[in-house]
Amino acid sequence: MSAKLAINKEVFTPHDEKMLAAVQVRRRTKKKIPFLATGGQGDYMTFICLSVTNKKPTHVSITKVKQFQGSSAFVKRSQWTIDQLQQINGIDPNKDCPEFDLMFDNAFDQWVAGSAGEKCTFVQVLHHTCQRYSSQRKPEFVNCQSKLLGAEEQPSNSVIFRCKVFLNRMRKEMVTSQAHLLRRGNSILHTAAGSVTSAVQKASQALNERGERLGRAEETTGEMKNSAEQFSVTAHKLAMKHKC
C-alpha cells in the first residue's frame, strides 16, 4: 500500500473524511527551534493533505501529517480549514518547479515537494477545491502557472497530472527493481563462477596428486626391475662358479 493510500485509510477515513490530494514535502528553510526546546523525535516524512468531509455541510481541511522514522503510523500534526488559507505562492509562473508556499491566518510555511509534478497536481486540486467550497473569501494564488488555475475550464488537466505523477513513480520503481535484479543476478553468477572455479581447482589438484603417485610407482617398479636383473646375473655367476 502506498503512503497516500495509507494516510487516507488511517487518518481521514475513521473521521468520515475523504482525502482529495496529498503531496510529500520538506521545508525549504529550517524552522527556528525555541531555545528551551528538548530533543525531537528523529527523522520523519511530512505530507500536506487536502480532505473533505463526506457528510454535509461539507468542511474542507488542509492537514499536516507526519510519519516518524521507525514507525509505520501516520500522525496528524496541524490542521487548518480552507477559509483560514490566505495565499498559495507557486514561486515561478513560467515553469514547473517543486517549491511552493502556504500562508494561513496564523502560520506560514515554505515547502519543496518531492517533484514538480506532485506539487502541480496538489496546487491544481487545491485551486479547484477552493473555487468550489470556499464560503467566505477565496485564497489568493500567486506565481502559479495558468494551466493549474484552469481546472474548471479544463477538468482533464488534473487527470493528466495524476497520470504523469503515477508514471514517474512507476518508472522509478521499475529502475529500482531492475537494479536489484541485476545485482542479484551478478551475485548468483559470481557464486556459480566461484563454485566452478573451486571444483576445477580441486579436480586439477587431484589429477596432479594422482600423477605424482603414478610417477613414484613407476620409479619404484623400475628400481625393483633393475634389482631383479642384478640378482639374476649374480645368481647365474655363482651357479657357474660352483659348477666349475
Cα–Cα distance measured from residue 166 to residue 161, given in angstroms and rounded to the nearest whole number: 9
pLDDT of residue 152: 44
Contact assessment for residue 162 and residue 171, using Cβ atoms and an 8 Å cutoff: no
pLDDT in tens, the chain (244 residues): 689 999 999 999 999 999 999 999 999 987 665 544 444 556 899 999 999 999 989 999 999 999 998 888 999 989 999 999 999 999 999 999 999 999 999 999 999 999 999 999 999 999 999 999 887 788 999 999 998 887 444 444 555 555 665 676 677 677 777 777 778 777 787 777 777 778 888 887 887 887 788 777 777 777 777 777 777 777 777 777 776 6
Report which residue type is found at 74: F
Cα–Cα distance measured from residue 238 to residue 244, given in angstroms and rounded to the nearest whole number: 10
CA angle 54, 59, 63 (to 5 degrees): 100
